[in-house]
Amino acid sequence: MNKEPADKNKILILRKKIDSIDKKLILLLSKRFKNVEEIGRIKKANSLEVEDIKREKEIEKRIKKNEKYTREILEVYRTIFKESKKLQK
């Protein structure tokens, strides 16, 4: 018995779910980066350092409480931190 059509259908359904999640992630990341830019303006006006290691560690600590995909989520956030610093400069 060939399950290929059913498997392909399941893949399509899962991809639609992923597309919906991606749409939300894009919106949330855009909002996050908008706030990051505002923080950058405030830091610049007050001669504060762009990099805030303490803040990054606080976020990483919250992520590590996640029971699953911790390593993967940390990797994504490290990229977010890097891009956030670029926006604040």
Q: Quick check: 1 pLDDT over 90? A: no
CA 33 – CA 72 distance, rounded (Å): 20
pLDDT: is 1 or 54 the higher one? 54
The model carries a pTM of 0.87
- The rounded radius of gyration (Å) of the Cα atoms in the chain is 19
CATH number at residue 59: 1.20.59.10
CA 48 – CA 67 distance, rounded (Å): 35
Question: What range does the domain containing 13 cover?
Answer: 4-88
- pLDDT value at residue 3: 67
Q: How much is the mean pLDDT over the chain?
A: 95
Tally of domains in the chain: 1
In which band, very low, low, confident or very high, does the pLDDT at 47 lie, cut at 50, 70 and 90?
very high
